[in-house]
Amino acid sequence: MAQQSIAEKFSVLPPAQQQELLDFADYLIKKYSDTQSKSLHKRQAGTMKGLVQFMAEDFNAPLQDFNAYM
């Protein structure tokens, strides 16, 4: 039913707007196919291992700015 309605409305439009509608349909197809393919990629633990080259000696020490709250 929706396909008939779309076809009827499409046939009423001038050629320039038909092309614009086709371009928009292509955009929607690309947008949602990219979204679906991204959701298929699973994150894997450990892929960032070794990328941190330096960490300060006092990294886990409390910050001076928060002494009033402790």
Residue-level length of the chain: 70
Number of separate domains in the chain: 1
| Domain assignment present for 15 | yes
CB 32 within 8 A of CB 39: no
| Domain assignment present for 14 | yes
pTM above 0.85, yes or no: no
| Both tokens assigned to 39 | 């959701």
Amino acid 35: pLDDT: 60
Q: What is the pLDDT of residues 4-24, one digit of tens each?
A: 899 999 999 999 999 999 999
| Domain assignment present for 53 | no
| Both tokens assigned to 5 | 């309605």
| Domain assignment present for 63 | no
Element (H, E) at 28: helix 15-39
Domain coverage including residue 29? 1-34
| Both tokens assigned to 52 | 């941190």
| Domain assignment present for 61 | no
